[in-house]
Amino acid sequence: MRKPFQGVWNIIRFNWHFYVVSIAFLCCLLLSENYLSLPTKPYLRIIELFVLVPTLVSLCVSLYVYDLSGLYQLNWIDNRSPKRPMTIVNIHAGFDETSTLLASKFNEAELWVFDFYEPEKHTEISIKRARKAYPSFPNTKSVSTNHLPIADNTVDMVFIIFAAHEIRDEQERITFFKELKRIIKPTGTIVVTEHLRDFPNFLAYNIGFLHFYSRKSWLELFQKASLSVKKEQKITAFISSFIITKNGIAS
């Protein structure tokens, strides 16, 4: 079970350096008002709003998305199980909030958990802090993005939730998704869940939205990896999920 406000609290503590800088800058602006002439103060207050408002908006959106939207209840995932036992793979980039939830939702399935985090490639300081704060799911295996230790055509479902965007090199992303295509069964699916580089996420995270990829980029990536989009859904205005399959299987 997730704790109340766990999502927004994780945002703050894993990215505390950003908030320290913002608060320090805001304090400097407020203190400087005492030394400026009256006509310049309105302009200074506009700058203060440009610092304060985006920070508060991003925290409010994070609270909604990660704590209030039901995202982590996973009701948006279709868990209608086939008659045979399922094999599920969950892949993350060093911070795993979903394996325990998936294990509960698909309690009769065999669940494999892979972590492709490599400190040399994935240099986000927030991930390093998250890894220290949360232990790995039992039996999590470290893997590389160019090879997954699973035989061809053996997996029913693959989940990549808020992780694939951490692969910053385009060719590496293509190679990774070709590996996903290799391991899923002909009728298997890959669930890719991400923020997009779009207008709602710009309003929410300002220039931080540049860390995400556009919808067009994801669709081009799937095509280059010979994958088809079976379904695309909006979990919230800020989060999209793509259910993709091997080419020729999409409906």
Instruction: Report how far residue 36's alpha carbon sits from residue 99's, in angstroms, rounded to the nearest whole number.
Output: 54
Residue 134 has pLDDT above 90, yes or no: no
- For residue 123, the model assigns a pLDDT of 65
Asked whether residue 139 carries a pLDDT value surpassing 50, the answer given is yes
Torsion (CA) 141, 147, 151, 157 in degrees, nearest 10: 70
- Report for 35-49, 93-107, 118-132, 169-183: range of highest mean pLDDT: 169-183
Lowest mean pLDDT among 62-66, 125-129, 218-222, 246-250: 246-250
Query: Is residue 193 within 8 Å of 239, Cβ to Cβ?
Result: yes
Contact 213, 232 (CB under 8 A): no
How does residue 152 score in pLDDT terms, banded at 50, 70 and 90?
A: very high
Domain 74-246: which CATH number of 3.30.2130.30, 3.40.50.150, 3.10.310.30, 3.40.1110.10: 3.40.50.150
Both structure tokens of 243: 């259910």
pLDDT of residue 250: 43
Answer yes or no: is pLDDT of 248 > 60. Answer: no
Q: Once rounded to an integer, what is the mean pLDDT over residues 155-179?
A: 95
pLDDT-based confidence at 251, cuts 50/70/90? very low
Q: Count CB neighbours of 216 within 10 A.
A: 11
Phi-psi region of 178 (alpha: psi -120 to 50; beta: other; left: phi over 0): alpha
pLDDT in tens, 53-97: 989 999 999 999 999 999 999 999 976 655 567 999 999 998 899
- Sequence-separated (6 or more) residues with CB below 8 Å from residue 158: 88, 89, 90, 91, 180, 183, 184, 188, 189, 190, 191
Question: What does the angle CA 135 – CA 138 – CA 143 come to, to the nearest 5 degrees?
Answer: 85
Long-range contacts of 229-235 (CB under 8 A, 24+ apart): 230/189, 233/76, 235/69, 235/71, 235/76, 235/193
Q: For the residues 205-225, what does the mean pLDDT come to?
A: 95
Domain spans in the chain, listed from the N-terminal domain onward: 6-68, 74-246
DSSP 12: H
Chain-centroid distance, C-alpha 226: 23
Instruction: Work out the pLDDT band at 213, boundaries 50, 70, 90.
Output: very high
Q: For 82-86, 96-100, 162-166, 220-224, which range has the lowest pLDDT when averaged over its residues? A: 82-86
Contacts (Cβ under 8 Å, ≥6 apart) of 124? 166
